[in-house]
Structure 1
Amino acid sequence: MWLSRDNLRLPTLPAGELRRVVVGVPARDEAADILQCLAALDDAAGRTAGPVTIVVSANNCSDATAATARSYVARWSKIIVDEVALPPEQSHAGGARRYVMDRAADLAGAGGVVMTTDADSRVDIDWIASNLGEIAGGADAVAGIITFDAAARATLPALLHRAAEWHLASLHARLEHLIDPRPHDPWPRHIWAWGASLALTVDAYRAVGGVPSVALAEDRALADAVERAGLRLRRSHAPLVFTSSRRIGRAPGGFADLLASHAGTTAPCDAALEPTRVLVRRLLLRARTRRERGRDFSEAWAQAEALSPQLARRRLCPADLTEEVRRAEQLISLLERRAARRADSPGVVLAA
C-alpha cells in the first residue's frame, strides 16, 4: 500500500494529559455506512481516558442518515446528531465540514481538540489516541493517513497510475525531509491532508478561522492555512483510517472520483503532486527562508512564494510519472550520499 505504518513507533499520551475531544462527521445520505463509522469511533473512544463526543451533521439528506445515527448505542462516547439544511451556497464538502467542525470546536472549548473523519470510513482503534499523542508531542494539527482494508481492496480493479502517484508522493515526502526538515514533523511523514483524518487543537482551529469556505479540497486548504499561520502541522503515519472503495461519491472531485478515474490515462494526477524539479526549487527556497528569517518565516515565505513565478504549481499527468519517479529517486540517492559524507554538517546543500 502507498501508506504504511511499518516500523512506526506510535506516540503515547503522557499520564495526566487529558483533553476534551470532539469528532465531527459530515454525513450526507450516508445511512448505509454511518453505523460502521460510529462503531469504529466509539471503539477508539474506549482507548482514551478523556471524554469523547461525536457530532454527526446529517446535512441536506434525502435518506435516513440521522435516524440511523441516532439508533447507535454508544458505550464509550457521547453522540450528537444534527439534522441540517445548509443553504445552496454552503451545501458542498467544504461547507459541510466547516459546519460540523465549528460545532465540534464549540463543544470542545478552550484546551480541547477537534477531529474529523468521513461517514464512509472507519477509524483505527488507536486513531483518537494517536492524534492526541502527536498533539501532546507538540503538534498543533495532525494529518493522518487513509488506506483500504482487505475487503475494500478486493473490490478495486488495478489502480494503474494511482499506484505510481502514491509512490511518487512518498518520494516527495522524503525529499522534503532531506532538504527542509522540521523538528515537529520528523520522518516518517507524508504529503497528504485528507478530511478522513484530521485533528487540531481548538486554539489552532480558531487561529486559522476554521475550515476555509471552499467547495472542494477543504482538507488541503485547512492544512495549508495551518502552515501559513506558522503553526505545527504533523503529517503522521500513526492515525490510520480505513476508507470506502466506492467510486460514486458525495463530493464531486473527491476521493471517490479519484478512484473512479484510475482507468483514464489522461486524467490529471492528484493536485498534491507537482514536478519534482519545481518541488526541489520550492524546498530549497523555503529552507533558506526558514534559516534567514527565523520567527518571521511564515510571513516571509508567503511573500517569497508569491514573488517566485518559477514555483507555480503545475498538475502532473500519468505520462509524466515514470520520469518524475526516476528523477526523485536519483535526487534522494544523491542527498542521502551527501548526508552520509557530511554527517557532522547541520544541513544539506543542493544546487537548484
Structure 2
Amino acid sequence: MSGKRVVVIGGGVIGLSVAYHLAEAGVEVTLLERGSLGSGASRATADVVRSYFANNAISSALGVRSLDAYRAFPARPGVDLPLRQVGYLVLFTEPAQVTAFEADLPAQHAAGVDVGLIEAEEARKLNPLIGDIPLLAAAYSPDAYISDTTAIVTAYAWAAERAGAVLRTGCPVTAVDPEAGRVRTAEGEIGADAVVCAAGAWSGSLLRSAGIDIPLTEPIEQELLTTDPLAPGTPDIPVTLHAASGLLVRLRGDRLLIGMGYPGPDRESWRREVASRVAEVYPCLGGVGLHTAVTGLRDASPDRTAFIGHRPGPPAFLYATGFSGHGLCNAPAAGELVRDLYLDLDPGMDVTALAVSPRRTG
C-alpha cells in the first residue's frame, strides 16, 4: 500500500471503477454506497457500450478508451465480460443532421472513433425493420456492443476487493467536510487523505452540503420500455437511433428495448409519443405492446459531458459525476483519470475540458 487513504462515495459503475483503479495502484480505498452496489443509475441502462457520441468528442474519447479497457477485461482485471458487437446506427431524415454530422466528423476521428456516413440503402440493410421514412443517410459506427451492466458492476467490485478496497453498502453519507478530509455516515466519521464524489444522481446534494459548486442539473428520471415478444425470425439489428425524435432501439432477446428522452411528469403522454414514434419509424411494430423495463435516476451536466477533476490537497477532493447517461460507456476511463489525477500521473489526454470551468458553466 502507498499509505494514501481515499474514500470513494458511490457504488455504481463509476465509483467501482474509481475504487478498482486506485486500489490497483496501491491506494487504501474505502467505498461507501447508500444502497446496494449498482442500485442507482447503473441499474437503468440499455446495457450498451459504444464510443460515438455526436457533437461530443470528449465523451467519444472517453468511450474509445473505455471500450479498449472492456475488451481487455479478460487480461485485466481478469474477468470475461459479455460483449456482443452489434454496431450503432443513427438515422438522418433532415439535411441539417447530415451537415452537422459532416462538420463533427474530423473531431470524432481525432478522438479515435470509427464512424462514417452511409447511404440510406445501406442503413436499411443493416436494420431491415426501418419503414418508409424520408431517410437521407445515416451515421454508422461498428464499435457498439451489447453487454451486461450487472456483470460489469460485479467484475469491478470483485477486482476492487481483490486489490484491497473495502466496499461498504447500506452506508449513506450524511455530510462531507472536504477541508478536513472527513466523511460522516450513520455509523460514524471516516478520515482520509482524499475524498472522491462519484455518487451519481445524489452528487448534487452531497456537493452542495460540502460547499462545493459543481453545476449539475437536477437528477433526471429515466425509463426504458420493452415490447411484447416479436415475431420469430426478427433479424438482428444495430443499436439504432432516430436522430429527429431520439427514439433508440435495440434487440434484447425476442423483444425490443426502447428509450426516448425522459418521461417527465406526464408519463402516459410520453408513452403515447413513444408508441407513435415506434409506429412511424418501424411500421411493422405498430400497435405492439410497450411495458416498463427499467427505471432509475440519472445525473446530468448542462453540456451532457461528465465532470472529472480534482482540487489538490491535502486533503484532496476529486469528482467524477454528471455523466448524463454515458456512465457505462465512460466508466473505465473515468476510473483511470481519477487515479491519474490523484497520483499526479500522466492521464494520457487533456483533462481540462472535463473539469469545472467558466467555459463549461458560463
- TM-score when normalising by structure 2: 0.28
Q: Which structure's relative contact order is higher, taking Cα pairs within 8 Å and 6+ residues apart?
A: 2
More helix by share: 1
- TM-score when normalising by structure 1: 0.28
